[in-house]
């Protein structure tokens, strides 16, 4: 059923009567209530210790724009729908070719029904600190940058075209366009099952090292009629997709819908899935070690204490919908979900086997029912190695009753909500604790003239505008945001003064086995034995190693790798990202020991 704005507007008179009759109760609404066996997540202070530190005590507004003057919307303003947000951070180039990061928040502007979707986007050019006015966009799900330089995203609903096929809208944009314009095409999805109508594509796509694009979809088949979570793969850049694997199948009245899949620090794929059929939607997880072809049995997601004990000293089931996964450039895996409330949890080792420090990040409670208010649909993206943004909505979008009237039972216009009854999009920015103190801000040091680079890693292309020597410390682990050499690479950092180095973070060629040797020198002439040796390691984020050397000069020798991109040559080397920690000037993060997952061989020099 298609529900158009003109039809919805006819409901404003009844909505106005409900708003005028609303009475705001005294006192704050009660917190979300824990049900037997379900986890009750804590609210944590913005300045509290932990892996995630909020940059502000309260969230900032993305939409409405500009900020509305009244706490409650009028009847007509309440028809300005905004919900189910996503957020993307795109590596782009600014004036003069300078690297920049564009933060795009997208959200739905239609009712929560199978309708012709409409979406809006708000853009930030200052790292998520402020967003401009909204504009129409075709984007519904978050785009990624492919190895061929295009930005790539999918539409939400596939359209069944036959018993084994469906059509899915695909959106692409040249990286040279900075995500300003999008070209739509239709991909063909092929499945061996007897496909029924329905389903959706949920989550951020993944591109494997060999170029395969993976998307997650939930679909129904004639055998069960219930939804199951699946992975589809494209070997031709997104023109066609075929079902690669089934993450979880329905059973005993339960079904699996929204699934987030991420490649973890060890290269395996982790899926967190919405499990429906009980009193509440809950979350389960599964892992694939073969690129999404086979998956481990889906098990209930659990929170653990810092010692590995069950969360809050008891076993509890995690409620949630619409999970989102983010592997930060620093190798911390973050899970974002909601309902009730919106929350984050972290896996410090980047694998997602154990989830720690869950915390509520936003709620808009009314004290009546714990699932009133925000939809629990969120988005999360990395603003840098140790900084992320989470977006969420204020009120769940209304559905439509059989008689065509709005169904606003999840966000009734009764004036009781903590933050009002606006259909609004909000954001919070978090700092992710560094693996130790003494992080040197290499980019700022270079701008001040306190750091110079001497390197052979100067390969460049007009089609790869982010590839340059300074890309090795630009905060991004995107494939082409790196210092690149055609063959063996040499990369030397000359610092303004000696530092007592304690830790080095490295990300080499993403998704490919690579090696490096790191030397530290006091005078830049005598280098001695390596302070760190990395051999045959495959990186998907930075890995950290402790060192004990004092010096003013850091030299990184990168071994040549094979199977390189044809535009570079037969062999190549990449320094995707580097971080240095040491005693001396620099931005200091919170001390916290992170344990990198093993992959290949890594050993400190003696």
The 10s digit of each residue's pLDDT in 364-402 is 999 999 889 999 999 999 999 999 999 999 999 999 999
As a whole number, mean pLDDT of residues 175-201 equals: 92
| H or E stretch covering 54 | strand 52-54
Q: Is residue 567 part of a domain?
A: yes
Determine which of 173-177, 405-409, 469-473 has the lowest per-residue pLDDT on average: 173-177
Report DSSP letters for 394-440, one per residue. Answer: SSPPPEE-TTS-EE-TTS-SSS--TT-S---EEEEEEEEPPSSS-B-
Name every residue whose Cβ is closer than 8 Å to that of residue 467 and which is 6 or more positions away in sequence: 459, 460, 461, 480, 481, 482, 483, 484
pLDDT per residue over 415-461, tens digit each?
Answer: 999 999 999 999 999 999 999 999 999 999 999 999 999 999 999 99
Averaged confidence pLDDT in the chain: 89
pLDDT value, residue 509 = 97
E strand segments, 209-305: 213-220, 227-234, 240-248, 255-263, 269-276, 282-288, 299-300
* In a domain? residue 485: yes
Supply the pLDDT for residue 98. Answer: 80
Q: Does residue 531 sit within a domain?
A: yes
**Nearest partner of 205 among 170, 154, 244, 242, judged by Cα:** 154
pLDDT given for residue 594 in this prediction: 36
Distances (CA, A) of 60 to 67, 134, 391, 397: 10, 15, 10, 20
Six token digits for residue 149:
């330089």
pLDDT tens digits, one per residue of 96-141: 778 889 999 999 999 998 778 899 999 999 999 999 999 999 999 8
Amino acid 598: pLDDT: 35
Q: How far apart are CA 579 and CA 507, in angstroms?
A: 9
Please check whether residue 561 lies inside any domain of the structure. yes
3-state SS, 444-513, equals HHHHHCCEEEEECCCCCCCCCCCCCHHHHHCCCCCCCCCEEECCCEEEEEEEEEEEEEEEEEEECCECCC
Domain that includes residue 516, residue range: 439-583
| pLDDT band (50, 70, 90) for residue 8 | very low
Please tell me what DSSP assigns to residue 150: E
3-class SS of residue 531: coil
State the average pLDDT over residues 578-595: 59
- Is residue 4 included in any domain, yes or no? no
In percent, how much of the chain has pLDDT > 90? 79
Q: Is the pLDDT of residue 4 over 80?
A: no
Number of domains, the chain: 1
CA dihedral of residues 325, 279, 356, 387 (deg, nearest 10): 40
Distance CA 49, CA 141 (A): 32
What pLDDT does 33 receive? 57
Report CA-CA distances (Å) from 337 to 21, 137, 168, 377: 33, 24, 25, 6
**Do the domain assignments include residue 209?**
no
Asked if residue 488 is part of any domain, the answer here is: yes
The whole-number average pLDDT for the span 186-200 is: 97
Q: Which residue has the higher pLDDT, 380 or 597?
A: 380
pLDDT at 370: 87
Q: Enumerate residues 6+ apart whose C-beta is below 8 A from 565.
A: 147, 572
**Model confidence pLDDT, tens digit, residues 13-43:** 334 333 333 333 344 465 555 466 899 898 8
User: What is the pLDDT at residue 348?
Assistant: 96
What is the predicted pLDDT for the residue at 31? Answer: 55
Q: Helices (H), strands (E): how many in the chain?
A: 3, 38
The whole-angstrom separation of Cα 536 and Cα 515 is: 5
Whole-number Å distance between alpha carbons of 102 and 178: 8
Report how far residue 241's alpha carbon sits from residue 231's, in angstroms, rounded to the nearest whole number.
10
| pLDDT score of 78 more than 50 | yes
Q: What is the pLDDT of residue 314?
A: 59
In this prediction, residue 596 has a pLDDT band, given cuts at 50, 70 and 90, of very low
Q: Which of 434, 385, 439 is nearest to 584 (CA)?
A: 439
- Over residues 402-407, the mean pLDDT reads 92
Residue 518 forms part of a structural domain: yes
Going by C-alpha positions, the residue among 126, 131, 125, 42 that lies closest to residue 82 is: 131
User: Is the pLDDT at 569 greater than 60, yes or no?
Assistant: yes
- Give the tokens for residue 206: 């993944």
Q: What is the pLDDT of residues 309-343, one digit of tens each?
A: 556 545 789 999 999 999 999 999 999 999 999 99
At residue 364, the 3 state secondary structure works out as coil
pLDDT of 253 over the 60 cut: yes
Say what the pLDDT of residue 18 is: 39
**CATH number of the structural domain spanning residue 478:** 2.60.120.260
Q: Distance between alpha carbon 243 and the CA centroid of its chain, in Å?
A: 24
Give the global pTM. Answer: 0.91
């Amino acid at each position: 059923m298609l529900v158009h704005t003109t039809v919805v507007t006819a409901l404003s008179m009844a909505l106005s009567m409900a708003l005028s009759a609303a009475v705001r109760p005294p006192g704050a609404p009660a917190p979300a209530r824990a049900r037997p066996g379900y986890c009750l997540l804590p609210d944590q202070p913005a300045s509290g210790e932990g892996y995630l530190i909020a940059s502000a005590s309260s969230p900032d507004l993305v939409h409405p724009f500009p900020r509305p003057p009244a706490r409650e919307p009028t009847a007509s303003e309440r028809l300005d729908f905004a919900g189910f947000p996503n957020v993307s951070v795109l590596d782009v180039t600014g004036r003069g070719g300078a690297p920049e990061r564009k933060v795009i928040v997208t959200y739905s502007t239609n009712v929560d029904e199978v309708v012709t979707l409409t979406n809006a986007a708000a853009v930030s050019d200052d790292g998520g600190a402020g967003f401009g006015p909204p504009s129409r966009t075709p984007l519904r799900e978050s785009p990624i940058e492919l190895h061929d330089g295009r930005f790539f995203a999918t539409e939400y609903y596939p359209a069944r075209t036959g018993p084994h096929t469906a059509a899915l809208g695909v959106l692409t944009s040249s990286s040279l366009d900075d995500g300003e314009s999008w070209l739509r095409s239709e991909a063909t999805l092929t499945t061996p099952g007897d496909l029924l109508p329905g389903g959706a594509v949920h989550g951020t796509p993944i591109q494997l090292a060999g170029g395969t694009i993976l998307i997650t979809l939930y679909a129904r088949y004639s055998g069960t009629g219930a939804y199951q979570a699946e992975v589809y793969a494209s070997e031709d850049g997104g023109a066609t997709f075929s079902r690669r694997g089934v993450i979880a199948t329905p059973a005993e009245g339960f079904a699996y819908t929204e699934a987030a899949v991420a490649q973890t620090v060890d290269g395996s794929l982790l899926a967190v899935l919405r499990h429906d059929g009980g009193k509440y939607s809950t979350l389960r997880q599964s892992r694939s070690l073969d690129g999404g072809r086979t998956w481990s049995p889906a098990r209930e997601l659990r929170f653990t204490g810092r010692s590995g004990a069950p969360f809050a000293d008891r076993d509890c089931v995690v409620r949630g919908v619409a999970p989102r996964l983010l592997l930060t450039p620093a190798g911390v895996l973050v899970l974002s979900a909601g309902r009730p409330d919106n929350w984050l949890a972290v896996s410090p080792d980047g694998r997602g086997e154990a989830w720690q420090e869950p915390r509520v990040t936003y709620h808009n409670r009314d004290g009546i029912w714990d699932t009133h208010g925000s939809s629990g649909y969120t988005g999360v993206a990395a603003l840098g190695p140790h900084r992320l943004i989470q977006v969420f909505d204020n009120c769940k979008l209304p559905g439509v009753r059989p008689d065509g009237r709005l169904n606003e039972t999840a966000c009734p216009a009764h004036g009781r909500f903590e933050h009002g009854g606006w259909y609004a999009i909000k954001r919070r920015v978090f700092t992710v604790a560094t693996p130790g103190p003494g992080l040197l801000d290499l980019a700022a040091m270079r701008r001040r003239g306190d750091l110079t680079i001497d390197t052979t890693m100067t390969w460049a292309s007009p089609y790869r505008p982010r590839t340059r020597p300074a890309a090795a410390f630009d905060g991004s682990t995107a494939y082409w945001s790196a210092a690149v050499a055609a063959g063996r690479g040499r990369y030397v950092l000359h610092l303004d003064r000696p530092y007592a180095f304690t830790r080095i973070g490295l990300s080499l060629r993403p998704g490919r086995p690579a090696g490096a040797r790191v030397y530290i020198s006091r005078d830049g002439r005598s280098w001695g034995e390596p302070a760190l040796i990395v051999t045959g390691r495959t990186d998907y984020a930075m890995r950290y190693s402790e060192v004990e050397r004092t010096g003013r000069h850091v030299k990184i020798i990168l071994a040549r790798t094979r199977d390189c991109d044809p535009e570079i040559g037969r062999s190549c080397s990449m320094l995707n990202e580097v971080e240095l920690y040491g005693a001396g000037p620099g931005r200091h993060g919170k001390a916290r020991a992170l344990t990198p997952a093993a992959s290949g061989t890594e050993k400190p020099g003696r």
